[in-house]
Structure 1
Amino acid sequence: MASLTFTFFLMLISLSASLSEAGGSIGVNYGRVANDLPPPSKVVELLKNQGLNRVKLYDTDANVLTAFANSGIKVVVAMPNELLSSAAADQSFTDAWVKANISTFHPATQIEAIAVGNEVFANSNTTTKFLVPAMNNVYASLTKLNLDKDIKISSPIALSALETSFPISSGSFKPDLVEPVIEPMLNFLRRTGSYLMVNAYPFFAYSDNSDQISLDYALFKQNPGVVDSGNGLRYMNLLDAQIDAVYAAMSALNYNDVKITVTETGWPSKGDSNEIGAGEDNAASYNGNLVKRVLTETGTPLRPNDTLTVFLFALFNENQKPGPTSERNYGLFYPSEEKVYDIPLTLTEVNVNSSGVGKSQVPVNGNNGSTTSYNGETWCVASGNVGKEKLQGALDYACGEGGADCTPIQEGATCYNPNTLEAHASYAFNSYYQKNSRASGTCYFAGAAYVVTHPPKYGKCEFPTGY
């Protein structure tokens, strides 16, 4: 038994390493609008204990940056909106700001990016004219200190910057923003090799349009998806649709080479009576499924080869944030460091939760114990620990409305044996996954399926990698 457990452990490490190369990265926003949070040193330990190695701040607080020194955690810092006019007007201002807030701490504190402002033109355009000049000056200041190669510069935009987001392929920026700020900013990002920071919240879209948007679609749960009328691509979740709407808007301006990082996304565990969808179960579903999607899959339907970096909002519930109840309840953790709800945050947790350690999953994750790489090919298999009812429902959907090729698992056919629900569901899930070009969200089935990087082994049945 010990030998089998150890073999499985080695296989799990191999699988994790392989998937981490294909999947994206998860970080978390560390906001501090509260009077009851643990000290920064304890926050660093919390992040390390949770396996999180990326964090985004909303300022450059010296105590916080000092706490992150030599932690191995990458840090995104921010220049607040109120400093943009000074940063845009005077190069000497940004020189002094970079020396005091960046070079003093880097590289002991691994500052990987500076967010110049935050949602600058979301509610008012009074600071819009300062944004790109401020970004240019900060970049020039970094260059003087030879930090421009280490540290990227960008600015998070809200989806309210879009004039159109549906159909997804018709995504476009608001016309009054394009010439004064969007095009100059995208040009800056292209020139400096940076990326566009985007804050995207399916919660808001669902809460405002719950009569038109499926909750399962918003929460990454099993659903038939939405086919874009313009490009014909099928979207299995709302976040992918929001990201691709921004990509479409950039493409319309001929900036196809600029990538996106999602700097904020989350779901509140509490809300007011008019905040439809707010609640602990939905928050756990959204964030838990999002982590799994980012870490085990690549890209979006429009950009399938681009890995995603996503920062969850937020680390803690923040009791002094103004606004509706939801604003104070986005946290993954209470200030006591207790989890608000239990979700996986790392690839190892995702794989353990999906695979059912100690159950009949070991042959699926390897080829008779082999850890050989299979040239980047992936398959979709059933999770044996989700219950027969859920697995049968997902199998029925895949073979029915999903359009999977289930002929080989009929009685007397090549993949009928072994005649088990898990084996049949795995074949059907993989057929659906491959027929949909292994697109993100097509190997999920409400948590009943997951991606593997080795050919599944169920008897003599061969699982195809394409149709």
Structure 2
Amino acid sequence: MIGINYGRIANNLPSPEKVVNLLKSQGINGIKIYDTDNNVLTALANSGIKVIVTLPNELLSSAASDQSFADNWIQSNITKYFPATQIEAIAVGNEVFVDPMNTTTYLVSAMKNIHSSLVKYNVDKSIKISSPIALSALANSYPPSSGSFKPDLIEPVIKPMLDLLRQTSSYLMVNAYPFFAYAANADEISLDYALFRENAGNVDSGNGLRYNSLFDAQIDAVFSAMSAVGFDGVKVMVTETGWPSAGDENEVGASQSNAAAYNGGLVKRVLTGNGTPLKPGDPLNVYLFALFNENQKPGPTSERNYGLFYPNEGKVYDVPFVTGEARTTPINGNRAQVPVAHEGQTWCVSNEKAAKEKLQAALDYACGEGGADCRPIQPGATCYNPESLEAHASYAFNSYYQKNARRLGTCYFGGAAHVVTQPPRT
């Protein structure tokens, strides 16, 4: 699923009520906020929009040292609004390992106490806990198969945190920004690779998997790092990722066209339903950063230009938020989201350049969770021949594509498929 971060470090933003209407008009049904603001959580009540809230870093020491503080915080900031406001997770802190206030030592205890409070008030089955980490928590991220956490974090915080996430069936929250990696290494990293555009990709020498996007490589580096410390089964949610539409002269790649390409490509990538090359069966859940340009954020120009919308609710650039692209079209006098389909007769076929592993993973998804009708390509059935991975994948991809009304973004499968205007040969 695609959600969005609703940051509010600005003095010119629309009211929370207007923001809820904006989210609905764009088909966005998940947001993340950096606090538990009363006005925001009240506005979200009965909206159908799921929300991740945050216990700020400055409260970690109190939550870690005092169970009654955690209980009171849950009562005042969670159960007060839930379930009318669909709080689905609590981010306990944010990028704590790089917090200048050195709050890392409090993190796991705070998470445990907050979870104990959720249990106490009988909402632990509905509300998960986690804590977003920055990619700087990794000592190594390239190639993805060699991903590893910084040694000084592993025993004191990474292992106990992952253990808690596993025990509570939660997921690791990760903030991943290919923009930073590209801006720092533009002479070595292809812009197409960073922006989900067509590219030759890179083969990971450690596992033989081909990567066609820097985003996928970064997420798989996290999976590899978790596996290296014995937590292979913990899932990942990407709680922040984005690309700035403007930046300072030294911020290579910060531009409106690149931001549109990154976020648009990412949405299409997520909506295929595929996971990463290392975890193809785990659909991606991603929260874009951010809803608005925030004029009071400190730092370089880029920090104030991650928004997909201006404070006046106009789009900084066009990005699809629902399956394929969407446009707001009057229906019976109301504004409603209508997914845009490819025009004319089109079909979805496998990409002959895709690695066999990617094709197989995409085929498995289409015939499984994707709900494509794959009975005709079973042994002995009408479309079993030609008996090749490419032919079977094309059949499954096209079944999925037609089932989804040929909407944009439903023929991608992580680059394993593409649209054609001539009927495929059978």
Q: TM-score, normalised by structure 2?
A: 0.82
Deviations along 1:112-150, one digit per CA (max 9) or x if unpaired, are 000000000125472111000000000001111001000
Q: Distance in 1 between matches of 2:315 and 2:178?
A: 22
Q: 1:458 is aligned with what amino acid?
A: P
1:356 corresponds to which residue? 342
SS at structure 2 position matched to 1:336: coil
2:415 to 429, 442, 450: 442
2:140 to 164, 168, 171: 164
SS at structure 1 position matched to 2:98: coil
1:388 corresponds to which residue? none
Q: 1:294 is aligned with what amino acid?
A: V
Deviations along 1:405-426, one digit per CA (max 9) or x if unpaired, are xxxxxxxxx99xxxxxxxxxx9
Tell me if the contact between 2:348 and 2:419 (Cα under 8 Å) persists in the aligned partners: no
- Percent of residue pairs bearing the same amino acid type: 63
Tell me if the contact between 1:301 and 1:440 (Cα under 8 Å) persists in the aligned partners: no
1:203 corresponds to which residue? 179
Tell me if the contact between 1:172 and 1:248 (Cα under 8 Å) persists in the aligned partners: yes
Q: Distance in 2 between matches of 1:138 and 1:41?
A: 29
Q: Distance in 2 between matches of 1:374 and 1:79?
A: 40
SS at structure 1 position matched to 2:89: strand
Tell me if the contact between 2:322 and 2:339 (Cα under 8 Å) persists in the aligned partners: no
2:360 corresponds to which residue? none
1:225 to 192, 195, 201: 201
Using a 3 Å threshold, how does the CA distance of structure 1 residues 146 and 162 change in structure 2: closer, same or farther? same
Q: 1:450: Cα distance to partner?
A: 4.9
The structure having more radius of gyration, on CA atoms, is: 1
Tell me if the contact between 2:175 and 2:239 (Cα under 8 Å) persists in the aligned partners: yes
Q: 1:229: Cα distance to partner?
A: 0.7
Q: Which runs of 5+ in 1 are unaligned?
A: 1-24, 366-372, 380-413, 416-425, 463-467
Matched, 1:458 2:410: no
Deviations along 1:308-360, one digit per CA (max 9) or x if unpaired, are 10000000000000000000000000000000001211005279887423x22
Q: Distance in 2 between matches of 1:341 and 1:439?
A: 22
Q: Distance in 2 between matches of 1:258 and 1:350?
A: 33
Tell me if the contact between 1:186 and 1:196 (Cα under 8 Å) persists in the aligned partners: yes
Q: Distance in 2 between matches of 1:161 and 1:135?
A: 18
Matched, 1:241 2:214: no
Tell me if the contact between 1:300 and 1:439 (Cα under 8 Å) persists in the aligned partners: no
Using a 3 Å threshold, how does the CA distance of structure 1 residues 159 and 144 change in structure 2: closer, same or farther? same
SS at structure 1 position matched to 2:114: helix
Using a 3 Å threshold, how does the CA distance of structure 1 residues 309 and 450 change in structure 2: closer, same or farther? farther
Q: Distance in 1 between matches of 2:394 and 2:301?
A: 42
Tell me if the contact between 1:189 and 1:258 (Cα under 8 Å) persists in the aligned partners: yes
Tell me if the contact between 2:108 and 2:157 (Cα under 8 Å) persists in the aligned partners: yes
1:12 corresponds to which residue? none
2:20 to 39, 44, 50: 44
1:254 to 230, 237, 242: 230
1:328 to 287, 291, 304: 304
Using a 3 Å threshold, how does the CA distance of structure 1 residues 364 and 161 change in structure 2: closer, same or farther? closer
Q: Which runs of 5+ in 2 are unaligned?
A: 328-337, 350-365, 374-384, 399-410
Matched, 1:179 2:165: no
In the comparison of the two structures, how many residue pairs are matched? 371
Matched, 1:338 2:314: yes
Using a 3 Å threshold, how does the CA distance of structure 1 residues 208 and 378 change in structure 2: closer, same or farther? farther
Q: Distance in 2 between matches of 1:164 and 1:206?
A: 16
Q: Distance in 2 between matches of 1:243 and 1:350?
A: 27
1:418 corresponds to which residue? none
Q: 1:155: Cα distance to partner?
A: 0.1
Q: 1:457: Cα distance to partner?
A: 7.8
Q: Distance in 2 between matches of 1:168 and 1:136?
A: 30
Q: Distance in 1 between matches of 2:416 and 2:292?
A: 31
Q: After the TM superposition, which residues 372-383 of structure 1 pair with which residues of structure 2 at under 5 Å, given as runs?
A: 376=370
Q: 1:440: Cα distance to partner?
A: 5.0
Using a 3 Å threshold, how does the CA distance of structure 1 residues 158 and 61 change in structure 2: closer, same or farther? same
SS at structure 2 position matched to 1:121: helix
Tell me if the contact between 1:158 and 1:200 (Cα under 8 Å) persists in the aligned partners: yes
Q: Distance in 2 between matches of 1:439 and 1:187?
A: 35
Q: Which moved more, 1:293-302 or 1:343-352?
A: 343-352
Q: 1:167: Cα distance to partner?
A: 1.4
Q: Distance in 1 between matches of 2:251 and 2:300?
A: 9
Q: Distance in 2 between matches of 1:377 and 1:144?
A: 39
SS at structure 2 position matched to 1:458: coil
Q: Distance in 1 between matches of 2:194 and 2:339?
A: 22
Tell me if the contact between 1:31 and 1:314 (Cα under 8 Å) persists in the aligned partners: yes
Matched, 1:153 2:126: no
Q: After the TM superposition, which residues 413-424 of structure 1 pair with which residues of structure 2 at under 5 Å, given as runs?
A: none
Deviations along 1:19-51, one digit per CA (max 9) or x if unpaired, are xxxxxx000000000000000000000000000
1:382 corresponds to which residue? none
Using a 3 Å threshold, how does the CA distance of structure 1 residues 340 and 224 change in structure 2: closer, same or farther? same
Q: Distance in 2 between matches of 1:430 and 1:118?
A: 42
1:135 to 111, 124, 140: 111
Q: TM-score, normalised by structure 1?
A: 0.75
Tell me if the contact between 2:141 and 2:218 (Cα under 8 Å) persists in the aligned partners: yes
Tell me if the contact between 2:320 and 2:326 (Cα under 8 Å) persists in the aligned partners: yes
2:277 to 284, 301, 308: 301
Matched, 1:88 2:53: no
SS at structure 2 position matched to 1:51: coil
Q: 1:297: Cα distance to partner?
A: 3.5
